[in-house]
Structure 1
């Protein structure tokens, strides 16, 4: 997809940003994900279909490296490139002020996407406050494949994700914003992204309609073949209805018992024919031993079939008929089947804007090092020693202070990552680092997103995670994403909007 190094909307940009030198590299880049409603709806439905089968099939994104990336201390602090700033979170439902355990925010969820190899992947993410209440924060490598190559396909966000369920709906990505250096040079100092998403929706069932209603429907729809008999088929044709037939009427053929696909049937014969038949396997051979059937006196009196009636009631007062069978080996025939269409509409429900449904975390930039943060994510990868401590099913968290020095990761062109002591593994990529976290309101300020995982003491266990330092350039990217406008995909009647 073509990269557009211009904002989606210029309204509200500062004069300083608008007067940037013509030849200066911008600090940000943007890509289209699924801006068209039809494409966005199709992608979201892909993940929701069959009770979330694709969601459950997806596996966590893992960095394509042989060894755990090494941290190298830069022995310096990240230098803010301007004044520190905060953008307040937008609220969710109020929670009790005093809570014994940490409450997991409703804003936390997974982003799902398909990579170039066709694999279904996921990362962690959060809803973040924005002007249009439509923004998701995650790692850049969870949106841009290999940084400069392109964006992932079928990109969606599912807040509150749990075992294939999307309790607050599914939100298709429209536009992605990231650091210019990540987009162009695969530089993980800019490994973050903000994605503007369309209104969420959920599938709320189906309904049968007429052919006319089916043709007029702009949303999801399909035809279920309804089998009918030959009489109904002829009536349908006379009325110029939409009906069809499949197959042909073809009788069964007698074949030998060794014919490929031959089917054994039993044929009732009289006693003399049965006695004359051979034992074993073959056309016309005996089919097992004679079968004795117990019947009532009236049934015995009226019987005129091939079987042999008993002489009358036995000692127990029962009447019997003895039946004789021979083998019949056939190649099964076929019969023509007749169908008429049953028109079905898939009805979707608009969930509204992301921020209106789950709220949005605040945003912080140019903050001092050593901040106390809560880092959330869905870890799933095993540790380097093979121990799989997490399942990726539910979100986990780490609590602590970020390092007071920045670190380098040479294999990923990192010069100034901030670090946090934490044992979460891959799958937590893109999860937010929330400073000033309010345990009652479940809100804080995004001051980083998990980028990489490290074994600092070299004991084959992840013990640190790292994030880009959120400075003024990150705020610049956020500012562009903040003004992106997105759409409702589903109308009031569940129809797809254009």
Structure 2
């Protein structure tokens, strides 16, 4: 997709492209849609939560090539970037009970972002919720959202606040719109390696229930038809009432007519053309009930190679329609009997991100050499192969940032701020918080972990760096601040349009 440079109003996010005259200065920011519709957001969350969170467990930390872990040197520019007056937005105070690690109370706002790259690999980075107009912003590293190469943004992008040992205690939030620096977007300039992502309301799956065929047809959320085993007596009653039921044997039986004494019917999936050509009524090869429509995720829809037909409805749901015909066989003792169980999945809306976990403040044009607390989920080994972190639980570093800005030519870095810290990849995107209150668990975001460095040459990370948060960061934040997002599911768990 082509990246959009889009203007915002105070009431809504516009999807109109911004035309910039050749003589005009380049804009300071750029934006991409991630999953703008609730249907796509639902599909992304379902991708990560289905099969008991198998995709979450499969993910690995964003991979930093050890050759990219390099030294940085003091920039030739001014020690303190001169970019206007300091500014800030206060955090949303929220101090619920949380985990304590070595006398540091972990903020509820931090978590992991999960995404799929253009190779189909599952990865995570670190991130935090921040204060915003619509209580829906996540801050992370730009390279944890925007991908190099033919694809602009990662697929299936979601934020899991409070992620701890494989659990999502406050739900999952699907990314809707991503904002970053124009120079990162255009030139891969890591002085702009930050991103703000507006996310839809969070939700959790709250189980499922069996419903009538009529209620199943009306349901706009996740739904599926599964086989539920019944007794032979229930099967006979079902067939007398023209219900959707069938038998299945573990051994082959001879085909018979439907009037054969005790004959039972099996269902056989066929292509839509064979179904349409089949007769109505009771007999070998006749139609077996109405076609069954199954709601699936986008990835399941893309991968499907079966006999059913694929389609999308007006709400953006991905559908597979299955067709069945009858197969009548002799009765046998080695048979089981089934009926169609029409099942719907119930989703629970958790509201905007900021209402669930609060949001850190944000500050820009601040003096260097201040104390910061940095959080993240490191998991990458050090360059020498030593694996000091698991990536399962959050870690932290504390100290004063360097009093000078640093540069790294490989990534076009000229004004990074640095901190002594041994966290490795996977911690990228984690927040650098000024004036962090251990009691309130809030502070002011003044950086995000961007790069990892080995200053003493012993093949161990000993320094991390972040873009200096200047007026350009404030400009991008202000644009993201107006992005409106939506609930994904309604009060009854139904998928919203």
TM-score by length of 1: 0.78
Show the counterpart of 2:212: 210
1:270-349 map, 5 Å = 337-349=336-348
SS at match of 2:104: coil
Change (3 A) 1:402 1:95: same
| Contact 1:434–1:445 (CA under 8 A) maintained in structure 2 | yes
Show the counterpart of 1:5: 5
Show the counterpart of 1:24: 25
Show the counterpart of 1:132: 134
Q: Give per-residue Cα distances to partners, 1:416-457, cap 9 Å, x unaligned.
A: 111111011111000000001111101000000000100001
Q: Give per-residue Cα distances to partners, 1:44-80, cap 9 Å, x unaligned.
A: 1211122222111110001246341331221442413
The answer to whether structure 1 residue 350 and structure 2 residue 349 are counterparts is yes
| Contact 1:377–1:427 (CA under 8 A) maintained in structure 2 | yes
Return the offset for 1:182.
0.7
Show the counterpart of 1:116: 118
| Contact 2:373–2:432 (CA under 8 A) maintained in structure 1 | yes
Of the candidates 141, 149, 152, which is equivalent to residue 150 of structure 1? 152
Return the offset for 1:336.
5.8
Output the CA distance in 2 between the equivalents of 1:84 and 1:432: 19
Show the counterpart of 2:295: none
Return the offset for 1:225.
0.3
Show the counterpart of 1:43: 44
Output the CA distance in 1 between the equivalents of 2:191 and 2:64: 15
Output the CA distance in 2 between the equivalents of 1:100 and 1:207: 44
SS at match of 1:344: strand
SS at match of 1:415: strand
Change (3 A) 1:9 1:92: same
| Contact 1:115–1:153 (CA under 8 A) maintained in structure 2 | yes
Output the CA distance in 2 between the equivalents of 1:249 and 1:370: 77
| Contact 2:12–2:483 (CA under 8 A) maintained in structure 1 | no
| Contact 2:88–2:361 (CA under 8 A) maintained in structure 1 | yes
1:150-229 map, 5 Å = 150-228=152-230
Output the CA distance in 2 between the equivalents of 1:44 and 1:375: 27
SS at match of 2:439: coil
Tell me the C-alpha RMSD between the 2 structures.
2.6
Output the CA distance in 2 between the equivalents of 1:363 and 1:334: 71
Return the offset for 1:115.
0.7
Output the CA distance in 1 between the equivalents of 2:373 and 2:68: 27
Show the counterpart of 2:314: none
| Contact 1:371–1:401 (CA under 8 A) maintained in structure 2 | yes
| Contact 1:182–1:191 (CA under 8 A) maintained in structure 2 | yes
SS at match of 1:145: coil
160-169 or 77-86, larger mean C-alpha shift: 77-86
Q: Give per-residue Cα distances to partners, 1:325-372, cap 9 Å, x unaligned.
A: xxxxxxxx9966542111221111111110011100000001111121
* Rg (Cα) greater in structure: 1
Return the offset for 1:12.
11
Q: How many residue pairs get matched?
A: 412
SS at match of 1:66: helix
Change (3 A) 1:107 1:248: closer
Return the offset for 1:114.
0.6
1:36-75 map, 5 Å = 36-64=37-65, 66-75=67-76
TM-score by length of 2: 0.78
SS at match of 2:345: strand
Return the offset for 1:244.
3.6
42-51 or 104-113, larger mean C-alpha shift: 42-51
SS at match of 2:422: coil
Output the CA distance in 2 between the equivalents of 1:101 and 1:206: 41
Output the CA distance in 2 between the equivalents of 1:9 and 1:122: 32
Return the offset for 1:245.
4.3
Output the CA distance in 1 between the equivalents of 2:151 and 2:230: 53
The answer to whether structure 1 residue 406 and structure 2 residue 418 are counterparts is no
Output the CA distance in 2 between the equivalents of 1:147 and 1:449: 23
Change (3 A) 1:81 1:211: same
Show the counterpart of 1:91: 93
SS at match of 1:56: helix
Show the counterpart of 2:430: 431
481-490 or 340-349, larger mean C-alpha shift: 340-349
Unaligned runs of 5+ in 2: 255-331
Output the CA distance in 2 between the equivalents of 1:423 and 1:452: 12
Change (3 A) 1:334 1:162: farther
Output the CA distance in 2 between the equivalents of 1:179 and 1:36: 24
Show the counterpart of 2:439: 440
Return the offset for 1:94.
6.4
Show the counterpart of 1:392: 391
Change (3 A) 1:3 1:251: closer
